[in-house]
């Protein structure tokens, strides 16, 4: 048995910085990885998808050459080279994480599947490691929904999509949320026929209805078939085709060459020996943690997607910051202090911070709203990218910003001035008076804040 000051399971977004921090403090650290260094974001999540989105965007702009005064001729896509570019970018990050851990003084890397043996012991391959401090950063994987016939066909998920170096003739996408929409739009731009099938009544159902509607319009205008409220789903193989029945009468069906299942994620907590350690999970398998990411067992923490508190790279990284600040800097940081923030990287992107309009209505508080079409934003107009809108909500009494939904060009960057104002707990009037650079998307945020109206049908409306 080998004793360490700390054991980290998983090299996702939280594990490696925590290893660096603790090893830097002179602690003896073991970090265990069963798969690829850097976890989901680097290998099968953010990095590859945003690299592919960039290729798809370039293709899209080339096809729109006439709008900008040039002709790129007949634009064809070489999927082998698209994939090679993606592999290159992923490889840089993946190797960077591995190298940094292997070269880290006081840190030993184990390449093995880790399982708890007891609250203080973890088996990694043939070795048992022991420590009073164990950090779980095991992430999540694609969920396989229970749909009749799915087990009879070959299907893709976010991981196996990474090996695709050809153009699917017709990509069926099961799941109309973030992952499905990003893949759907990029493959449409590469040249595939694409159909997106969503069980619920609208795409990205956690967003406001106007956001879902605008996103659906954008995708449909690009030639994507969107099926919502799909019922009695059934999948089968007919010749080379995958056929999806999407209504209970069995009359509506979609026929494609490939199927991508993007129907949610499940935490990698089912084969970790958590029972032997006494670490509690909730009914969906997420590790139960408190506001400081401590599990039900003293000396064991859970960070990142496996704790169900985030689901994004920045939330996992923020988990690391919280744990490190509390353990080593004498601070008292909590998960509940952070403001929800994320983006959906279709083009144009959707950036979301804080509460949605629906959340604000539900809260019953008096609120003000500002909304501006991207058509009225000069930078968007100049770039020829005028789809979408920006929406911001403010508490009518405290004057604090409650949330924003920005769907439009550069909105993933522009939204940060709203987010930082929210973190500062400053009144919206501060941002309203800020002088922003012209021409930017962000310059219209003070303008919007100058034109707030009571939120209709709310306590202030
Ligand atoms: C297609 C896609 C696109 C995404 N795009 C974005 C985006 O644009 N922005 C964003 O913020 N987020 C995005 N995400 C989400 C983001 O990737 C995750 O939230 C993030 O990677 C979570 O990191 P993590 O630290 O929880 O763990 P992970 O990165 O999942 O890493 C966990 C690691 O633990 C290892 N492991 C698991 N079990 C064991 C075990 N028993 N023993 C040893 N090792 C183990 C795994 O092999 C893995 O390397 C995307 C996700 C997907 C799937």
Model pLDDT for residues 206-233, shown as the tens digit of each residue: 999 999 999 999 999 999 999 999 988 9
What torsion, rounded to 10 degrees, do the Cα atoms 68, 71, 74, 75 define? -50
How far is Cα 304 from Cα 374, in angstroms, rounded to an integer?
A: 34
Using a 6 Å cutoff on CB, does residue 301 contact ligand 1? Answer: no
Question: Beta strands 253-256 and 241-245: pairing type?
Answer: antiparallel
Q: Is 139 in the pocket of ligand 1 (CB under 6 A)?
A: yes
Confidence of residue 460 (pLDDT cuts 50, 70, 90): low
Among protein residues, the one with the nearest Cα to ligand 1's atom 48 is: 39
| Bond into 183 cis (ω within 30) | no
- What mean pLDDT value characterizes the chain? 97
Q: Ligand 1 atom 37: the closest Cα is on which residue? A: 138
Tell me the mean pLDDT in the region 90-110. 98
Dist. CA 187 → ligand 1 center (Å):
23
- Find the 84 Cα to ligand 1 centroid distance in Å: 22
For residue 391, how many C-alpha atoms fall within 13 Å in the half-sphere facing its CB? Answer: 21
| Whole-number pLDDT of residue 372 | 97
Please say if the pLDDT value at position 423 is more than 70.
Answer: yes
191 and 77 Cβ atoms separated by less than 8 Å: yes
237 pLDDT higher than 90: yes
CA distances in angstroms from 266 to 40, 77, 188, listed in the order given: 13, 34, 27
Residues above pLDDT 90, as percent of the chain: 97
What spacing in Å lies between the alpha carbon of 421 and ligand 1's midpoint?
29
Q: Report pLDDT for 248.
A: 86
Share of the chain above pLDDT 70, in %: 99
Give 398 Cα–ligand 1 centroid separation in angstroms. 37
pLDDT at 178 over 80: yes
Active-site amino acid positions: 438
Exposed, middle or buried: residue 335 (CB in 10 Å: 0-12, 13-18, 19+)? Answer: middle
pLDDT band at residue 136, thresholds of 50, 70 and 90?
Answer: very high
Tens of pLDDT, residues 345-398: 999 999 999 999 999 999 999 999 999 999 999 999 999 999 999 999 999 999
Ligand 1: residue whose CA is nearest its atom 50: 45
* pLDDT at site 249: 81
49 lines ligand 1 (CB under 6 A): yes
Any ligand 1 atom below 6 A from CB of 380: no
For 47, residues 6+ apart whose C-beta sits below 8 A from its C-beta are: 41, 89, 90, 93
Distance CA 441, CA 438 (A): 8
Average pLDDT over residues 46-74: 97
> Is residue 51 within 6 Å of ligand 1 at its C-beta?
no
The answer to whether residues 179 and 46 touch, using CB atoms and an 8 Å cutoff, is: no
Q: In angstroms, what is the span from residue 122 Cα to ligand 1's centroid?
A: 21
Unique residue bearing structure tokens 């604000």: 360
| Mean pLDDT (whole number) for 179-196 | 98
Please indicate whether residue 35, judged by its CB atom, sits closer than 6 Å to ligand 1: yes
pTM of the model: 0.97
Would you say residue 51 has pLDDT above 90? Answer: yes
Residue 358: per-residue pLDDT: 97
């Amino acid at each position: 048995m080998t004793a360490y000051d700390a054991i980290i399971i998983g090299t996702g977004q939280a594990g490696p910085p925590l290893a660096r921090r603790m090893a830097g403090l002179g602690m003896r650290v073991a970090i265990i990885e069963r798969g690829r260094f850097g976890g989901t974001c680097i290998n099968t999540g953010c990095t590859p998808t945003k690299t592919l989105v960039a290729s798809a965007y370039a293709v899209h702009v080339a096809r729109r050459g006439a709008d900008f005064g040039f002709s790129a001729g007949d634009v064809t896509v070489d999927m082998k080279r698209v994939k090679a570019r993606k592999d290159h970018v992923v490889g840089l990050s993946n190797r960077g994480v591995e190298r940094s851990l292997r070269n880290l003084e006081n840190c030993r890397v184990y390449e093995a599947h880790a399982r708890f043996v007891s609250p203080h012991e973890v088996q990694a391959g043939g070795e048992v490691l022991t420590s009073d401090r164990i950090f779980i950063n095991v992430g999540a994987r694609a969920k396989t929904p229970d749909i009749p016939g799915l087990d009879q066909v070959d299907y893709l998920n976010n991981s196996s999509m990474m090996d695709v170096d050809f153009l699917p003739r017709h990509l069926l996408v099961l799941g109309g949320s973030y992952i499905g929409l990003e893949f759907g739009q990029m493959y449409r731009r590469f040249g595939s026929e694409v159909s997106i099938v969503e069980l619920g009544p609208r795409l990205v159902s956690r967003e406001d209805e106007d956001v879902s509607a605008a996103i659906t319009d954008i995708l449909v205008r690009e030639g994507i078939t969107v099926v919502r409220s799909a019922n009695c789903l059934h999948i089968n193989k007919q010749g080379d085709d995958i056929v999806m029945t999407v209504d209970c009468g069995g009359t509506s069906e979609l026929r494609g060459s490939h199927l991508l299942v993007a129907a949610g994620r499940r935490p990698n907590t089912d084969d970790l020996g958590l029972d032997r350690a006494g670490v509690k999970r909730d009914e969906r398998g997420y590790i139960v943690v408190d506001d400081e990411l401590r599990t039900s067992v003293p000396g064991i923490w859970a960070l990142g997607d496996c704790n169900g508190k985030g689901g994004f790279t920045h939330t996992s990284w923020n988990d690391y910051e919280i744990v490190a600040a509390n353990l080593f800097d004498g601070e008292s940081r909590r998960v509940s202090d952070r403001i929800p923030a994320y983006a959906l990287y279709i083009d144009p992107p959707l950036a979301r911070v804080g509460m949605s309009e629906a959340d604000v209505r539900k809260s019953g508080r008096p609120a003000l709203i500002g909304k501006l079409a991207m058509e009225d934003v000069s930078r968007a107009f100049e770039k020829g990218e005028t789809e979408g809108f920006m929406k911001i909500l403010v508490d009518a009494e405290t004057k604090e910003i409650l949330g924003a939904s920005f769907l439009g060009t550069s909105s993933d960057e522009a939204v940060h001035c709203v987010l930082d104002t929210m973190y500062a707990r400053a009144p919206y009037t501060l941002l309203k008076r800020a002088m922003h650079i012209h021409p930017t998307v962000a310059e219209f945020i003070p303008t919007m804040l100058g034109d707030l109206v009571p939120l209709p049908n709310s306590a202030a409306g």
